[in-house]
């Protein structure tokens, strides 16, 4: 049996130049190529973008290749469902919403399996890293909105009266389950944790044109099939405090069947002890400050993948730090 190489892995991001992007990822210390940069796929193993490991034994190898070699030792027994479909379970992104994104919705797994081949559905969450004054996003519909009225508004090209606008600020988090009508508006830098999917159904693109001068495609019928019209005027939720002791404040942000994301706030010098016991990979992302993850120095903003079978690990804050921790729970039997 080949020797397993399990260690904290970092990656070279894959950049996307969608029309709504800008240059604001430079605020995060990123060295960008010329032109628009809308998304930085930080940890990705998808046909539309796969990151390469940039440290250790697997340096220069695609995440998909590493996954093929390590299997459940990388992603964990809680992700057996993903392994059976040949999928890495999560996708981690940074987004620069320099202009509004389209109004859109993502399907669930069942709908995607029927209509999009082997693609997954897409539940996701956002953490607002930076927000201009007055920044907002769209989540859900206004009270009284029906599918019929909504469809007619799409035909008229005037959807605004049915959209629920939600003010947001730096530090907010938003859980976006599949079926949520949503749009990230301008003036926001966001970290996104999501299912490993790139399936998006646009319903409204502000009557603008793409880089080729033509309107970008809409996916109205599919969108109307999957929009949850019962998601009426949701609000930003407060994080749930799980533990506050020994210089670490640990909060739960989102919990669904695909991932749990927590926020940990570290005082300088404190150490968190953890264990990757084979059940799930863990992704740790420093969004403020700096630290060391099992000997690997990490500066914000940087995401690190811990293989599921890695075993005991430690996270040491070398400064006051805020860290996102994401992992996959066991599925109900």
Residue with tokens 């500066």: 299
CA 91 to chain centre: 6
Three-class DSSP category at 202: strand
- Answer for the pair 43, 14: CB distance below 8 angstroms, yes or no: no
**What's the pLDDT tens digit per position in 71-125?**
999 999 999 999 999 999 999 999 999 999 999 999 999 999 999 988 889 999 9
Cα dist. 141→151, 254, 330 in Å?
A: 13, 21, 32
Do domains 11-226 and 240-327 share one topology? The answer is yes
Phi and psi at 210, nearest 5°, equal -85, -170
Q: Where are the domains of the chain?
A: 11-226, 240-327
* 90 HSE (CA, 13 A, CB side): 34
CA 151, 156, 158, 162 dihedral sign is negative
Q: Mean pLDDT of successive 10-residue segments in the chain (333 residues)?
A: 79 96 94 96 97 97 97 97 94 98 96 92 97 98 96 91 97 98 98 96 89 87 97 97 96 97 98 97 98 97 97 98 98 72
- Answer for the pair 116, 222: CB distance below 8 angstroms, yes or no: no
- Answer for the pair 73, 308: CB distance below 8 angstroms, yes or no: yes
CATH number for the segment(s) 240-327: 2.60.120.10
Entry pTM:
0.95
Assigned CATH class of 11-226: mainly beta
Residues 34 and 242: their CA atoms lie apart, in Å, by: 43
How many helices (H) does the chain have, and how many strands (E)?
A: 6, 25
Active site residue 202: yes
Residue from 27, 156, 202, 325 carrying the catalytic annotation: 202
């Amino acid at each position: 049996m080949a020797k397993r190489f399990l260690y904290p892995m970092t990656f070279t991001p894959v950049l996307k130049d969608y029309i709504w992007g800008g240059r604001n990822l430079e605020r995060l210390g990123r060295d960008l190529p010329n032109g628009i940069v809308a998304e930085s796929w930080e940890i990705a193993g998808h046909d539309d973008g796969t990151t390469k490991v940039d440290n250790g034994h697997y340096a220069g190898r695609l995440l998909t290749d590493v996954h093929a070699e390590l299997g459940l030792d990388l992603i964990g027994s809680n992700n057996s469902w993903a392994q059976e479909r040949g999928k890495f379970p999560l996708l981690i992104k940074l987004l620069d919403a320099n202009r509004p994104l389209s109004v859109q919705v993502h399907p669930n797994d069942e709908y995607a399996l029927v209509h999009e081949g082997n693609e997954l559905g897409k539940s996701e969450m956002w953490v607002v890293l930076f927000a201009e004054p007055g920044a907002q996003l769209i989540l859900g519909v206004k009270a009284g909105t029906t599918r019929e009225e909504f469809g007619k508004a799409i035909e008229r090209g005037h959807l605004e009266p049915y959209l629920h606008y939600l003010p947001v600020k730096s530090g907010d988090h938003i859980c976006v389950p599949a079926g949520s009508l949503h749009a990230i508006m301008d003036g926001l830098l966001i970290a996104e944790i999501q299912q490993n999917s790139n399936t998006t159904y646009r319903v409204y693109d502000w009557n603008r044109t793409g880089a080729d001068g033509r309107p970008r495609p809409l996916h109205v019928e599919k969108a109307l099939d999957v929009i949850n019209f019962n998601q009426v005027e949701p609000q930003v939720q407060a994080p749930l405090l799980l533990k506050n002791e020994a210089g670490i404040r640990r909060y739960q942000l989102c919990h669904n069947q695909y991932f749990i994301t927590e926020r940990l706030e570290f005082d300088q010098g404190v150490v968190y002890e953890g264990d990757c016991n084979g059940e799930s990979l863990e992704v740790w992302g420093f969004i403020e400050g700096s630290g060391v993850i099992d000997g690997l120095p990490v500066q914000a903003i940087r995401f690190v993948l811990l293989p599921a079978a890695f075993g005991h690990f430690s996270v040491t804050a070398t400064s006051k730090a805020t860290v996102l921790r994401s992992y996959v729970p066991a599925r109900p039997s």
